């Protein structure tokens, strides 16, 4: 004759109880009055006694389960044979283990992190979580032995351990997968060693839903900090330090990155001020390239006086921008030139870099790529650092010569390109006819 | 200026007030001919007679009740409780009757009573005669609590207490009765709720009560030699408590230690530290550290007794760590 063991009614207002622990295991003999399990109620932890004698079977709830009052959680059977464990009330079937050759479970791949400058494998010392375990991002997942010491590696993501792909004691190359963490409780688990898979994939081409958690590029010291220590979201600092940092627009994170030991106090702000001063927010004077050239102004002058007699002849701006476009190695695309002369700026488009530039209407919504300062008729005799962001070509007259100054940011144009541009432009300005026709 | 002992200062205060107001009387154990074991009230019975300087049997609840009733009916009693530890015997009379009568009578009744008692350890008087229980009565709404730190405060605060129409408990440090201080002649009334900055400083604030003010001052001397400038504040009265002075100081220094002879836990230091934390949070460059007596019954063994209460060296050690920005765990 078997008898159900139920979660008893515990109090007026309670409709479930937390099963703290079992005192008997499935298959144990029980006598009337034996303590079977402990339940935690609002007020206290109570022992529940067996009401019948027999053997404890069909245990359907485990320690930690919240069980509704009245639910059957075990059966006291006449004989031990009835001891067939059934699924726990709180869960579905426990996850099954997949065969080792099966496809990997879905989830975030966890790799062996980079550990040191000279190390390309790490000895996986032991796992602190098992397949099926829940894990949070800053919990330690496994330990790795490096040249210097044993390091703890945190999971890095919240979730459940779906797969362990290396065994304790194995050497794993840096960057190779060692585990998979799924966001939802996995139905299929996998546990295998590196030896199980004959040719382990170096880069994950596996059915992982996201790219693996790889150490970010950059200096290795920072990588170690991020991978091998628990994530700390808080910076410890006194209230006054925080307030003053906020008022002065300083970022305490910089102290962390500079390696200052926490907690931070007002006296640390001096150091923070220095750090912040060393890394200016805006780059005041970017590295500039500056090239100059000199050619005879005569040929250009002759062409222009010939052209100006014609009523529909091209303007100097069109000619000059056309020549500049021709010199500019723009790879076939249109070069938009801003041509400034007598304090008016005219945009020219130069498709294909051949011929004359085409004047664009003032409302044209295009960005110029080159600024040409035509100062031939001005009193200015030399300029330096006079460009406002755009590569700038300035034309100055000196007697019967032209002086060209080309300035650009080091990041805008390579040295070679700058050299060839000015050389080409100077050459074209010396023989304009040849290049216009 | 003349220097007098704390004992003399108390005697002067009582005598001057009793001369001024004939409704004032003194009641307690051995207050008349014996002048109390500490010899504080010597000469008073000779001047004012046994109607106004009343010896009682060893019956604290009884004579406290008499005093409360007398206070409610037009007298102004000064009750002498021989040891602060005996306050437990009179808690109902003090905290349920004296403290609440004015409120519960809708303002119709006043209890202008002064309870004079003492506190302070290191006298080798063991656990039941060495307690500093001011925190317990400070917790009760309706009672004022004064804590003189020298003869000057003893006289000035006592006179103010006697003239207050509310029940006031004034705790004198029994170790200080023979300590001298400068006390001006003539009328001396120290207002309640006004703290005294005993020493100015800029690096750290030391708030001390009663004899701990002297501990703080000695600590400040030691710290000054190390280049640390400590400000010492004596609140003088716990209820009412002058937080303005304390806050102003903490906002200047950004660091604070509160030192009191009551037990570390659930006491005066905790209250003051909490208020500082609440009111000056963004000015703190370190935690407010509490230093009280250890949470143990005061030992009889001299060696043990001496280490259960805060000392100047102990304060200095904590102050150094606070200045260095260390994490301090004084639980």
Written in H, E and C, the secondary structure of A85-144 is CCCCCCCCCCCEECCCCCCCCCCEEEECCCCCCCCCEEEEEEECCCCCCEECCCCEEEEE
- Say if B327 is an interface residue toward chain A (CB within 8 Å): yes
CB spacing of A240 vs B283 below 8 angstroms = yes
Residues of A in contact with B284 (CB under 8 A): 238-240
In angstroms, the separation between the Cα of residue B281 and the nearest Cα of chain A is: 6
Residues of A in contact with B282 (CB under 8 A): 239-240, 242-243
In angstroms, the separation between the Cα of residue A241 and the nearest Cα of chain B is: 7
Chain B, window 239-258: residues with a beta carbon less than 8 angstroms from a chain A beta carbon? 254
Count residue pairs from A and B with Cβ separation < 8 A: 26
In angstroms, the separation between the Cα of residue A136 and the nearest Cα of chain B is: 28
When pLDDT is averaged across residues B238-243 and rounded to a whole number, the result is 98
More confident site: B57 or A409: B57
When pLDDT is averaged across residues A103-118 and rounded to a whole number, the result is 77
Tens of pLDDT, residue by residue over A10-32, are 766 678 888 888 998 888 888 99
CB spacing of B254 vs A263 below 8 angstroms = no
Q: Given this model, what pLDDT does residue A26 score? A: 87
Lowest mean pLDDT among A50-64, A69-83, B149-163: A69-83
Residue A152 to residue A144: CA distance in whole angstroms: 6
In angstroms, the separation between the Cα of residue A238 and the nearest Cα of chain B is: 5
Any idea of the CA torsion for A111, A112, A115, A121, to the nearest 10 degrees? Answer: -140
Please provide the distance, in angstroms rounded to a whole number, between the alpha carbons at the two ends of chain A. Answer: 112
When pLDDT is averaged across residues A210-229 and rounded to a whole number, the result is 37
In angstroms, the separation between the Cα of residue B14 and the nearest Cα of chain A is: 47
More confident site: A45 or B185: B185
- Say if B108 is an interface residue toward chain A (CB within 8 Å): no
- Cα radius of gyration (chain B): 20
Lowest mean pLDDT among A160-174, A315-329, A341-355: A341-355
CA distances, A83 to each of A2, A75, A77, B174 (Å): 11, 9, 8, 76
- Say if A239 is an interface residue toward chain B (CB within 8 Å): yes
Which residue matches tokens 């200080």?
B176
CB spacing of B285 vs A263 below 8 angstroms = no
**Interior CA angle at A314 toward A312 and A318, to 5°?**
150
Pick among B285, B321, B328 to test the A interface (most A CBs inside 10 A): B285
In three-state secondary structure terms, A38 is strand
**Interior CA angle at A318 toward A313 and A324, to 5°?**
140
The phi, psi pair for B182, rounded to 5°, reads -75, 125
CB spacing of B282 vs A267 below 8 angstroms = no
Instruction: Give the ipTM.
Output: 0.80
Residue A7 to residue A71: CA distance in whole angstroms: 6
Nearest C-alpha in A relative to B284: A240
Q: Exactly one of B17, B60, B172, B231 is catalytic; which is it?
A: B60
Q: How confident is the model at residue B329 (pLDDT cuts 50, 70, 90)?
A: low
Closest partner CB to A267 (pick from B282, B283, B325): B325
Whether the pLDDT of residue B300 is over 70: the answer is yes
In three-state secondary structure terms, A147 is coil
CB spacing of A241 vs B285 below 8 angstroms = yes
Tens of pLDDT, residue by residue over B252-285, are 999 999 999 999 999 999 999 999 999 999 999 9
Q: How confident is the model at residue B67 (pLDDT cuts 50, 70, 90)?
A: very high
Task: Give the number of C-alpha atoms closer than 13 A to the C-alpha of residue B79, restricted to the C-beta side.
Answer: 31
- Say if B22 is an interface residue toward chain A (CB within 8 Å): no
- Say if A267 is an interface residue toward chain B (CB within 8 Å): yes
Q: Catalytic: B261?
A: no
A316-350: burial string, b at 16+ Cβ within 10 Å, e else: bbbbbbbbbbbbbebeeebbbbbbbbeeeebbbbb
Q: How confident is the model at residue A286 (pLDDT cuts 50, 70, 90)?
A: low
When pLDDT is averaged across residues B182-198 and rounded to a whole number, the result is 97
CB spacing of B285 vs A238 below 8 angstroms = yes
Q: Given this model, what pLDDT does residue B29 score? A: 97
Lowest mean pLDDT among A55-69, A183-197, A398-412, B241-255: A183-197
CB A122 within 8 A of CB A153: no
CB spacing of A240 vs B325 below 8 angstroms = no
The phi, psi pair for B172, rounded to 5°, reads -100, 145
Written as one string, the DSSP assignment of A271-331 is HHHHHHHHS-SS-SS--EEEEEEEEESHHHHHHHHHHHHSTTPPPHHHHHHHHHHHHS--T
Lowest mean pLDDT among A407-421, B6-20, B29-43, B240-254: A407-421
More confident site: A169 or B45: B45
In angstroms, the separation between the Cα of residue B324 and the nearest Cα of chain A is: 9
CB spacing of A239 vs B282 below 8 angstroms = yes
Nearest C-alpha in A relative to B286: A238
CB spacing of B281 vs A241 below 8 angstroms = no
Residue A180, beta-bridge partner list: A109, A163
- Say if B285 is an interface residue toward chain A (CB within 8 Å): yes
Q: Exactly one of B102, B129, B134, B263 is catalytic; which is it?
A: B129
- Say if B281 is an interface residue toward chain A (CB within 8 Å): yes
Lowest mean pLDDT among A266-275, A300-309, B227-236: A300-309
* Contacts of B115 by beta carbon, 8 Å cutoff, 6+ apart: B64, B79, B81, B90, B94, B167, B168, B169, B170
* Structure tokens belonging to residue A376: 């031939």
The phi, psi pair for A429, rounded to 5°, reads -70, -25
Pick among B280, B324, B325 to test the A interface (most A CBs inside 10 A): B325
The kind and range of the H/E element at B157 are helix B151-163
Task: Give the number of C-alpha atoms closer than 13 A to the C-alpha of residue B188, restricted to the C-beta side.
Answer: 19
In angstroms, the separation between the Cα of residue A239 and the nearest Cα of chain B is: 5
The kind and range of the H/E element at A4 are strand A3-6
Q: Given this model, what pLDDT does residue A63 score? A: 87
CA distances, B245 to each of B89, B199, B267, B279 (Å): 35, 13, 20, 12
Whether the pLDDT of residue A95 is over 50: the answer is yes
Lowest mean pLDDT among A25-29, A79-83, B287-291: A79-83
CA distances, B115 to each of A416, B63, B120, B174, B331 (Å): 96, 11, 17, 15, 33
Q: Given this model, what pLDDT does residue A197 score? A: 65
Q: How confident is the model at residue A186 (pLDDT cuts 50, 70, 90)?
A: confident
* Structure tokens belonging to residue A209: 């839903």
When pLDDT is averaged across residues B42-61 and rounded to a whole number, the result is 97
CA distances, A79 to each of A34, A56, A75, A84 (Å): 17, 9, 11, 12
Nearest C-alpha in A relative to B278: A239
Whether the pLDDT of residue A422 is over 50: the answer is yes
CB spacing of B325 vs A243 below 8 angstroms = no
Q: Given this model, what pLDDT does residue B177 score? A: 97
Whether the pLDDT of residue A205 is over 50: the answer is no
Residue A232 to residue A253: CA distance in whole angstroms: 12
More confident site: B181 or A142: B181
Residues of B in contact with A239 (CB under 8 A): 281-285
* Contacts of A393 by beta carbon, 8 Å cutoff, 6+ apart: A324, A370, A371, A372, A373, A404, A405, A406, A422, A425
Residues of A in contact with B286 (CB under 8 A): 238, 265
Q: How much is the mean pLDDT over chain A? A: 79
In three-state secondary structure terms, A356 is coil
Q: How confident is the model at residue B308 (pLDDT cuts 50, 70, 90)?
A: very high
Quote the strand ranges of chain B, DSSP E.
Answer: 3-5, 24-28, 53-55, 76-80, 114-119, 144-146, 168-173, 180-182, 196-199, 204-208, 230-234, 237-239, 256-263, 289-293
Residues of B in contact with A242 (CB under 8 A): 282
Residues of B in contact with A271 (CB under 8 A): none
Lowest mean pLDDT among A179-188, A390-399, B301-310: A179-188
* Structure tokens belonging to residue A111: 């790799």
Residue B203 to residue B201: CA distance in whole angstroms: 6
B254-291: burial string, b at 16+ Cβ within 10 Å, e else: bbbbbbbbbbbeebbbbbbbebbeeebeebbbbbbbbb
Q: Given this model, what pLDDT does residue B159 score? A: 98
Q: Catalytic: B129?
A: yes
């Amino acid at each position: 004759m078997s008898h159900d063991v139920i979660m008893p009614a515990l109090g007026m207002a309670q409709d479930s109880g937390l099963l703290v622990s079992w005192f008997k295991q499935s298959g144990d003999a029980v006598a009337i009055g034996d303590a079977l399990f402990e339940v935690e109620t609002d007020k206290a932890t109570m022992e529940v006694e067996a009401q019948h004698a027999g053997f404890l079977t069909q245990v359907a709830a485990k320690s930690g389960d919240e069980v509704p009052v009245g639910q059957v959680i075990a059966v006291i059977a006449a004989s031990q044979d009835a001891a067939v464990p059934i699924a726990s009330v709180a869960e579905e079937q426990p996850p099954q283990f997949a065969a080792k050759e099966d496809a990997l479970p879905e989830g975030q791949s966890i790799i062996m992190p980079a550990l040191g400058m000279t190390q390309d494998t790490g000895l996986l010392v032991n796992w602190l979580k098992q397949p099926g375990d829940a894990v949070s991002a800053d919990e330690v997942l496994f330990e790795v032995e490096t040249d210097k010491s044993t390091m703890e590696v945190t999971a890095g993501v919240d979730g459940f351990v779906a797969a362990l792909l290396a065994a304790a004691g194995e050497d794993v190359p840096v960057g190779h997968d060692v585990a998979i963490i799924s966001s939802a409780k996995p139905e299929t688990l996998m546990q295998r060693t590196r030896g199980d898979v004959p040719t382990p994939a170096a880069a994950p081409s596996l059915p992982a839903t996201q790219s693996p958690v790889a150490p970010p590029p950059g200096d290795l010291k920072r990588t170690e900090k991020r991978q091998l220590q628990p994530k700390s979201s808080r910076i410890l600092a006194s209230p006054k330090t925080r307030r003053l940092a906020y008022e002065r627009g300083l970022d305490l994170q910089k102290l962390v990155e500079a390696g200052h030991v926490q907690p931070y106090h007002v006296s640390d702000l001096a150091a923070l001020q220095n750090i912040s001063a060393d890394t200016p927010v805006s780059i005041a004077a970017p590295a500039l390239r500056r090239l100059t050239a000199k050619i005879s102004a005569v040929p250009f002058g002759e062409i222009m006086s010939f052209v100006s007699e014609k009523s529909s002849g091209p303007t100097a701006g069109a000619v000059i921008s056309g020549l500049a476009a021709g010199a500019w190695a723009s790879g076939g695309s249109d070069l938009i030139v801003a041509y400034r002369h007598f304090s008016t700026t005219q945009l020219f488009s130069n498709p294909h870099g051949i011929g004359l530039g085409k004047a664009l209407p003032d409302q044209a919504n295009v960005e110029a790529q080159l600024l040409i300062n035509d100062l031939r008729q001005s009193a200015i005799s030399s300029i330096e650092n006079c460009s406002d962001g755009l590569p700038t070509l300035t034309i100055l007259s000196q007697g019967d010569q032209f002086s060209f100054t080309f300035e650009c940011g080091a990041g805008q144009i390579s040295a070679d390109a700058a050299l060839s541009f000015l050389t080409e432009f100077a050459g074209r300005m010396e023989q304009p006819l040849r290049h216009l026709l | 200026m003349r220097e007098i002992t704390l004992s003399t200062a108390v005697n002067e205060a009582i005598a001057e007030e009793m001369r001024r107001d004939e409704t004032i009387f003194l009641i307690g154990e051995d207050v008349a001919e014996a002048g109390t074991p500490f010899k504080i009230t010597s000469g008073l019975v000779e001047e004012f007679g046994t109607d106004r300087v009343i010896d009682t049997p060893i019956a604290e609840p009884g004579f406290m009740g008499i005093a409360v009733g007398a206070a409610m009916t037009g007298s102004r009693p000064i009750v002498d409780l021989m040891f602060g530890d005996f306050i437990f015997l009179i808690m109902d009379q003090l905290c349920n009757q004296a403290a609440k009568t004015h409120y519960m009578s809708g303002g119709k009744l006043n209890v202008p009573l002064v309870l004079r008692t003492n506190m302070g350890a290191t006298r080798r008087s063991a656990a039941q005669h060495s307690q500093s229980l001011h925190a317990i009565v400070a917790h009760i709404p309706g009672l004022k609590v004064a804590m003189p730190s020298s003869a000057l405060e003893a006289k000035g605060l006592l006179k103010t207490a006697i003239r207050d129409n509310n029940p006031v408990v004034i705790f004198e440090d029994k170790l200080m009765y023979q300590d001298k201080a400068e006390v001006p002649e003539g009328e001396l009334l120290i207002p309640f709720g006004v703290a005294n900055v005993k020493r100015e400083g800029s690096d750290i604030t030391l708030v001390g009560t009663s004899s701990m003010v002297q501990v703080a001052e000695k600590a400040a001397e030691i710290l000054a030699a190390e280049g640390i400038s400590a400000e010492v504040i004596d609140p003088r009265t716990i209820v009412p408590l002058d937080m303005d002075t304390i806050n102003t100081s903490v906002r200047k220094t950004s660091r604070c230690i509160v030192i009191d002879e009551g037990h570390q836990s659930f006491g005066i230091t905790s209250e003051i530290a909490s208020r500082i934390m609440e009111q000056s949070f963004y000015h703190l460059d370190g935690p407010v550290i509490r230093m009280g007596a250890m949470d143990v019954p005061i030992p009889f063994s001299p060696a043990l007794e001496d280490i259960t209460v805060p000392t100047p060296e102990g304060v200095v050690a904590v102050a150094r760590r606070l200045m260095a920005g260390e994490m301090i765990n004084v639980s």
